[in-house]
Amino acid sequence: MIKILKYSFYDLMRSRWSYVYLAFYMLLGFVLLFLNSDLSKATITLMNIIVVLTPMIGTIFGIMYFYNSREFTELLLSQPVKRSTIFLGQYLGLSLSLSMSLIIGLGIPFLMYGITQSDAVGNFITLLASGTFLTFIFVALSLNIGLGNSNKIKGFGYAILMWLFFAVIYDGLFMISLIVFGDYPLDKFALGASLFNPIDLSRIMILLKLEISALLGYTGALFQKFFGTNLGILISVGVLLLWIFIPVMLMLRKSLRKDF
Partner 1 sequence: MRILLALFFALIFLQSSGQIMVCPSCEIKDLQQAVNLSEPHDTLIVKSGVYPVVDLEITKPLTLIGEKGAILDGQNKSYVLKLLADSINISGLKIINAGKSYTKDYAAIYASRANHLVIENNIVVDPFFGLLIEKSKHGIIRNNLVYGENVKEDEAGNGIHAWHCSNLQIHDNEVFKMRDGIYLEFVDESIIEENYAHDNVRYGLHFMFSNNDDYIGNRFEHNGAGVAVMFSKFIIMKSNVFINNWGPASYGLLLKEIYDAEVLDNEFTENTTAVFIDGTSRINYVGNVFNKNGWAIKVSGGCYTNRITGNDFKGNSFDVSYNSKMNDNTFDGNYWGDYTGYDLDKDGVGDVPYRPVKLFSYIVNKTPETIILLRSLFVDIMNFSEKVSPVFTPDNLVDRTPAMNAFK
Residue 11 or 200 having the CB closest to partner 1: 200
By CB under 8 A, which span of 26-34, 65-73, 102-110, 219-227 interacts with partner 1? 219-227
**Residues 208 and 228 sit within 8 Å (Cβ to Cβ):** yes
> What does the DSSP assignment read for 160-183?
HHHHHIIIIIHHHHHHHHHHHTTT
Q: Does 32 bind partner 1 (CB under 8 A)?
A: no
CA distances from 10 to 5, 14, 98, 99, 131 (A): 9, 6, 12, 14, 21
Q: Does 167 bind partner 1 (CB under 8 A)?
A: yes
Please identify, using beta-carbon distances, which residue of 94 and 159 lies nearer to partner 1. 159
Rounded to an integer, what distance in angstroms lies between the CA atom of residue 101 and that of residue 123?
19
Please report whether residue 182 would count as binding partner 1 according to CB under 8 A. yes
Q: Does 190 bind partner 1 (CB under 8 A)?
A: yes
Is 119 a residue that touches partner 1 (CB under 8 A)? no
- Give the residue with the Cβ less far from partner 1, 93 or 220: 220
- One of 69, 97, 135, 194 touching partner 1 (CB under 8 A): 194
Residue 60 interacts with partner 1 (CB under 8 A): yes or no: no
Q: Hey, is 103 helix, strand or coil?
A: helix
Contacts of 259 (CB under 8 A, 6+ apart): none
Q: How far is the CB of 40 from partner 1 (least distance, A)?
A: 10
In the DSSP assignment, the letter for residue 69 is T
In this structure, are residues 196 and 124 in contact, taking their beta carbons and an 8 Å threshold?
A: no
Report the Cα 30 to chain-centroid distance in Å.
22
Phi-psi bin for 60: left (phi > 0), alpha (psi -120 to 50), beta?
A: alpha
Q: Does 153 bind partner 1 (CB under 8 A)?
A: no
Among 32, 147, 195, 207, binds partner 1 (CB under 8 A): 207
Site size toward partner 1, by CB under 8 A: 35
Quick check: 220 binds partner 1 (CB under 8 A)?
yes
Give the binding site for partner 1 (CB under 8 A). Answer: 41, 47-48, 51-52, 167-169, 171-172, 174-175, 178-179, 182, 186-187, 190, 194, 199-200, 203-204, 207, 211-212, 214-221, 223
